[in-house]
Amino acid sequence: MEYKRYGEKIAVRLDKGDEIVSKIAEVCEKENVKAGYFSGIGATDDFTVGVFDIAKKEYEKYSYKGNHEINVLTGNVSFVGGKTYIHAHITCTGENGVVGGHLFSGAVSLTGEIFIEALNGEITREKNEELGINTLVFA
């Protein structure tokens, strides 16, 4: 992985084998990003996504292997329990057609190109018991 900061924007290149979510978190921690959003493209050959089941209040997870183009990677940066939290969604095209959802993990197979926009301030998340998810809280 390599990255460079340009004011409030950060350009990131992920390399083969890099784990997408953890590398975005690593950059945000190093650059003290406590609130922001990101988008990206690239390729993956091993990723796990989920779709939230509202009735069960849990994610149904789906894992995919094989060559996939990352058509859209998008998400935001906040804090949960004092730790950086990356909320990412991904849409990929491969032999399974188009698949996507909440990104739990994903390995870069060729390269990943991600652009992070840092916001001034900090956004946290707290558990919303009614919904069963952590929702944004603004200070």
User: What number does CATH give the domain 2-138?
Assistant: 3.30.1330.80
The full set of domain ranges for the chain reads 2-138
Whole-structure pTM value = 0.96
Q: What is the mean pLDDT of each run of 10 residues along the chain (139 residues)?
A: 99 99 99 98 99 97 98 98 97 96 99 99 96 94
One DSSP character per residue, 67-110 reads EEEEEEEEEEEEEETTEEEEEEEEEEEETTEEEEEEEEEEEEEE
pLDDT digits (tens, 9 = 90+) for 124-139: 999 999 999 999 999 7
